[in-house]
Amino acid sequence: MISNRTIGNIVRILRKETKRLKTPSVTLVGKKWGSPFSVLISCILSLRTKDEVTLSASEKLFRIASDPQQMVRLSRQRIQEIIYPVGFYKTKALRIKEMSRDIIDRFGGKVPDDIDTLLTLKGVGRKTANLVVTEAFGKPGICVDTHVHRISNRLGYVRTKTPEETEWALRKRLPKNFWIEYNALLVTWGQNICRPVSPLCSRCAINRFCLKVGVDLSR
């Protein structure tokens, strides 16, 4: 397995290399709208949806309703119309409306800033909870999606079978000063270079550090 010294080198290289690549949609939403609620809702919209669709739907929705109070005034049908064509838009519209009401009723209209409390919101899993605390509140968390899970294992930094296992393994190994940025760096790299099938190893700036675990074919 690669060392923490090596992962530090990797993070520093990716900080530089990812500046020329597209930023993940949830990160862009957080920077533009600047509220925990916008980050939370964009996370819900992003599930099984392409980044460009997520970003467009998020922007349309937040121009109309940017906080829980405004969101609950919209009908489920109206939310569906606004966020279409995100994946599972009907289910997500219901979830967004219910979540907004829950945030008002239980938390005074403010999105919780800790993972355990966020997990009590229906439809929020560990990936979303971690992303909200890191992107919206700047607090330590490790958001693990398919890119983070795949690349962490491909590098040889962890040996895990599921994203949840990867999160806990990273919590034990990854230096805490890298936690907040780790997701955005690896998601960006995974979308552009370290792809699931036939990764672009010849163009990869961290190629020399990677153990290429499970890589049978690359370009």
Q: How far is C-alpha 214 from the geometric centre of its chain's CA atoms?
A: 24
Length of the chain: 219
Delimit the CATH 1.10.1670.10 region(s) of the chain. 4-22+141-209
**What per-residue confidence (pLDDT) applies to 23?**
83
Q: For the domain with range 25-135, which CATH number is right: 1.10.3720.10, 1.10.340.30, 3.40.50.1000, 3.40.50.170?
A: 1.10.340.30
- In the chain, the amino acid numbered 173 is R
**Residue ranges, CATH 1.10.340.30, the chain:** 25-135
Q: Which residues are catalytic?
A: 127, 145
Across 34-63, average pLDDT: 93
Composition of the chain by helix, strand, coil, percent to 5: 65, 0, 35
> Strand, helix or coil at 195?
coil
Q: Tens of pLDDT along 165-177?
A: 999 999 999 999 9
Whole-prediction pTM value? 0.90
Q: Does residue 6 register a pLDDT over 90?
A: yes
Q: What is the pLDDT of residue 166?
A: 98
**pLDDT digit string (tens) for 109-141?**
999 999 999 999 999 999 999 999 999 999 999
For the chain, give the mean pLDDT.
95
Q: Which of 168, 155, 147 shows the shortest CA–CA distance to 209?
A: 155
Asked if pLDDT for residue 27 goes beyond 90, the answer is no
Q: What is the pLDDT of residue 218?
A: 87
What does CATH list as the number for 4-22+141-209? Answer: 1.10.1670.10
154, 123, 127: which is closest to 142 by C-alpha? 127
Average the pLDDT over 85-108 and give the result. Answer: 97
